[in-house]
Amino acid sequence: MSTERLMTKMIKSGRDEAEVRSMSRQEIIDACLASELMRTELLTETSEPPQNVTETERWKFEKELEFKERQAAKELEFKERQAAKEFEFKERQAAREFELKERELELKERLKEELKLKEDEMRLKEDELRLKREEFLLKQKESNSLINRIKKFSDTMKEQLWKMPQNPSELPTFFVHLENAFCSNGVDQDVKSRLLQMCLHDKAKSIITRLTVQQLDDYNTLKEFLLSEFRISPVKLREQFFGTKKIPNETSCYPETV
């Protein structure tokens, strides 16, 4: 097919005339082959070429078209393979990204669980420490309670807590000894009256029932009451104190009231 006829067909297909006429024959053939419709027309027309075209030209044109078709088919196949490879690559990449995101989520979940376990362990340890502290404070409170302190000092001073003598004249010596024992053992003030009451004989116990609870809890008040009831004056108590000889291993503490 002549170049002029090819140009005419391209112009009729909608191509710009000035653009078409500026193209070379090879560019025109390539453009025709690029169009499915024009390629079909070319092949149809070349099967029965016009009489003024020589056999050689016809053969050359057919070969040229065949070559272009094969080339176009190869290019199409190459593009399809490239597209398939690109699609496969993108699929693998997407799968890889999905897998990475899955692993990242799993890692985050695992870290979240580990953090929760650690927080639970910390809370458990805090609870254990709190319980131990409360137990310690409770035991400390119990050990510091009046009853426990009375028991502690009564056990410690078991051999030093003499029984109150029946003879009133021996009371000064009794109180000197008792208060020396209090001093040497560091007895708390609120425990002294309780220890004194443990030493009283039955008559003294009966007498002190006339006292109030507050008076019974005060050592000095209880002591003065007993001395008064058994007719021991402060002067006699002083004389008895300074006339008392120290017992071996006994401290030199002074009594509460002289």
- Number of C-beta neighbours around residue 83 at 10 A: 10
Locate 254 and state its tokens. 């002074």
In 118-201, DSSP assigns E strands to none
| Predicted confidence band of residue 8 (pLDDT cuts 50, 70, 90) | confident
Dihedral of CA atoms 25, 32, 47, 41 in degrees, nearest 10, equals -140
Interval 88-121: pLDDT, tens: 999 999 999 999 999 999 999 999 999 999 999 9
pLDDT in the model for residue 258: 40
Whether residue 141 contacts residue 210, with contact meaning beta carbons closer than 8 Å, is answered with: no
Residue 231's pLDDT is what?
Answer: 82
Give the pLDDT confidence score for residue 209 in this predicted structure: 94
Distance between CA atoms of residues 254 and 115, nearest Å: 66
Q: What is the pTM of this model?
A: 0.41
* Distances, alpha carbon 102 to alpha carbons 97, 107, 114, in Å: 8, 9, 18
